[in-house]
Amino acid sequence: QSVLTQPPSASGTPGQRVTISCSGSSSNIGSNYGYWYQQVPGTAPKLLIYRNNERPSGVPDRFSGSKSGTSASLAISGLRSEDEADYYCAGWDDSLSGWVFGGGTKLTVL
Amino acid sequence: QLQLQESGPGLVKPSETLSLTCTVSGGSVSNTNYYWGWIRQPPGKGLEWIGSIYYNGNTYYNPSLKSRVTMSVDTSKNQFSLKLSSVTAADTAVYYCARHLGGIFSGPNYWGQGTLVTVSS
């Protein structure tokens, strides 16, 4: 059971906009920044979004992040086949004094 | 360009200690701006943070693993290490080393390629 809750799966067609949610609590997302990682199977995770809505250099602006209360969201617009991957949210948890991850969302591009 | 490379045995016997090293190139573990961490991923499952260490040896560990985890840093070799004692099959996972964006409250951004460690007799 992950501390952060994500839907196990999401899907969309090319060009569509999809959103992935991440539900936390007051001790993690509610009081700290949300992060998002993309993981293509067999490879290491890649940082997509940091500090709720910042993109590292090289990440397309099709990817965007937001936070509201104790939840974070990742939006992908103009969906492409190469976006098919697993997506994880993460954040610092004050109660645990450690990093927590969501269980991951498998995105399928139909 | 910063690169991290995990190394260590790919097979560990139950009850023994798992030992991994992360070698950093293109950067320095002595850099006071960053924490360095370990994250693992059991086959077919999600990511689990194990712990993180600062250049001066300051550590944060996952409470669920704290009693079994020891991390250290060797600035002379530009490496940091993980030891996980009393392993069981549940510790079978791909182990990643990573560098945080900054301090402990910022997430990992640079990751190693990962190394699979299997716990089996």
Mean pLDDT within A2-12: 96
The model's pLDDT over A73-100, given as tens digits with 9 standing for 90+, comes to 999 999 999 999 999 999 999 999 999 9
Angle A42-A48-A50 from CA coordinates, rounded to 5°: 135
pLDDT tens for each residue of B59-110: 999 999 999 999 999 999 999 999 999 999 999 999 999 999 999 999 999 9
Question: Measured between CB atoms, does B62 come within 8 Å of chain A?
Answer: yes
CB contact under 8 A, B47 and A104: yes
Q: Does B63 touch chain A (CB under 8 A)?
A: yes
Structure-block tokens of residue B70:
């020891």
| Closest residue to A101, CB basis, from B48, B51, B63 | B48
Q: Does B60 touch chain A if contact means CB atoms closer than 8 Å?
A: yes
Where does the pLDDT of residue B56 fall: very low under 50, low under 70, confident under 90, or very high at 90 and above?
very high
Give the pLDDT of residue A20.
Answer: 98
Q: Taking all residues of chain A, what is their mean pLDDT, rounded to a whole number?
A: 97
Q: Would the pLDDT of A1 be above 90? A: no
Mean pLDDT for B29-47 is: 97
pLDDT exceeds cutoff 90 at A30: yes
Q: Answer yes or no: are the C-beta atoms of A26 and A4 closer than 8 Å.
A: no
Contact (CB, 8 A) for A100 and A3: yes
Q: Per-residue confidence at B25, pLDDT binned at 50, 70, 90? A: very high
* Sign of the dihedral through C-alpha B25, A40, B48, A67: positive
Amino acid at B108: P
Using alpha carbons, select from A38, A35, A28 the residue that is nearest to residue A3.
A28
